[in-house]
Amino acid sequence: MSAPSWSVGQILEQFKKTLPYGRAWPRDAGTVMESILKCFMPTAERTINDARSLIPNSFPATATYTLLEWQKTLGLPDPCAGTNPTIDQQQRQVAARLGDRGGSSVSYYINFAKTLGYEITITEFSSAKADFMRADDPVCDAFWDYFWRVNAPASTVHYFSADASYADEALATWGDAVLECEIKSRTPAHTNVFFSYG
């Protein structure tokens, strides 16, 4: 349940109901009293709207006013996000970093990428061993024991959304720089990761 949204006119009508009774406190439209009260109503409207934004701004995945504070706390923004990331991309990166508990399993990387907004799979390689190979398995030497591949869509597109995007944001952005940068920074030191798109 969200906080109610009030217009300036609605606030004015509610405020009139709190006035004392008497001829010095007219509640009718067009009076000097109403003209004076109207001057204060835009401030009341801003205060109510700011109060409505407290809960969304308490959570990194929906923060707008406090997004910069969340980013500073987590060492963001960084070059991973490129030069002009959307608000949605910034929120996802904050949420992913804040919720990251670490790990090195396949499921860890898949779930971490999902938090960033990417659907991926992971391919692990191993050297060819006679007892363990099956038909159609690639024949790799021992060098490949330390390699793994992230498989992602040809290109992830982030579309402008009327209810989630903001003025001056592009209608669509492409790219997987955030995915690559964030995964590479979490790659175990003894392994190498590469990316395959499409």
Question: What are the residues facing 85 on neighbouring strands?
Answer: none
pLDDT digits (tens, 9 = 90+) for 98-149: 999 999 999 999 999 999 989 999 998 877 666 666 666 666 677 788 899 9
CB atoms within 10 A of CB 101: 6
Residues of the chain with pLDDT under 50: 1
Supply angle C-alpha 98, 69, 61, rounded to 5. 45
pTM: 0.66
Query: Under a CB-based contact definition with an 8 Å cutoff, are residues 36 and 12 in contact?
Result: no
Supply angle C-alpha 98, 191, 102, rounded to 5. 20
pLDDT of residue 192: 92
CB atoms within 10 A of CB 166: 10
